[in-house]
Structure 1
């Protein structure tokens, strides 16, 4: 097993993060891994302003406003689930609709710092794909540094992009895709993984 293999094996979501301060150097090392992730879209080729990182402190004014946007989105999503009958079709959707109907957003900041990543849209539209590259790079770097990493997908779901972009100081006339993660030190000892749940191997070769 190579070093990369071991990182891939040990990468995992760590839900419980302590309040112990994370050194700025380590935080920026994880961000740098995301900054180095591949990008796509021909319109980005000769620019370097299409990817932004925002580090938001829990309890700050920006944090509270972001939580409000997430809360409103959860209420809207809960209503959509009921209106489209998804709660009857999918058990996880029923759980989500019930859990989020009051807009609870207390879990958005499960660590002292939330990193929000914004990827500007271009042609062809690949911004959401690129965010996947960014998050994976950051996740693996956090794993290497033994730092807890927990994706915060509700930020990706916010439909009120104009308000979110204004909050972060981005041009509201541009199109951005967003993702986010909580980062910090694990509150508990992280057990070494001996195996990894993964999809059944299904490879199809077309040779002629």
Structure 2
């Protein structure tokens, strides 16, 4: 389960402060598929980064699977991200010098999985997202949709219980975007992975069990 309790995030510069989140309190149950929606600058991506332990709140508490993340050291946060959370980004974020299968292997390398075991699992994951035939190609040799499928396979490499998706179809055409969303939905249903999806596209939110709307850094209770 994911729980946020009175979470604030303030970005400070020498001259001004930006209040990205202003007292967000919410729960996401294990196995739930939640879409986070709101206008640009509303705090959607900031919220996702805090859930993913990529940033820390200025005030408040983020609890992941019963663990208060504010009490964890940097090394413990790294381990939590590595083992419990998968990330899918709009820009794919693949390593350009590595092949598809090598990109999928990366999280397992950081976890210390033996070479033969991680190669076998990476190929299986590529097969599950329907692109095993491009395993030995580099990102610049495959399409955007194929790159995002590689990114999904990489996100699932360490069997995370939480999958965080930040505009995962933003760079894809509508048909390819639907295919990517169907893969994410299947992971949610078949593997009971908790999915948190940030999007401005209402058609993508249809895949979710619930929509949470963010406005001006707060959960919009009026919608």
TM norm structure 2: 0.23
Structure of higher CA gyration radius: 1
Give the strand-richer structure, 1 or 2: 2
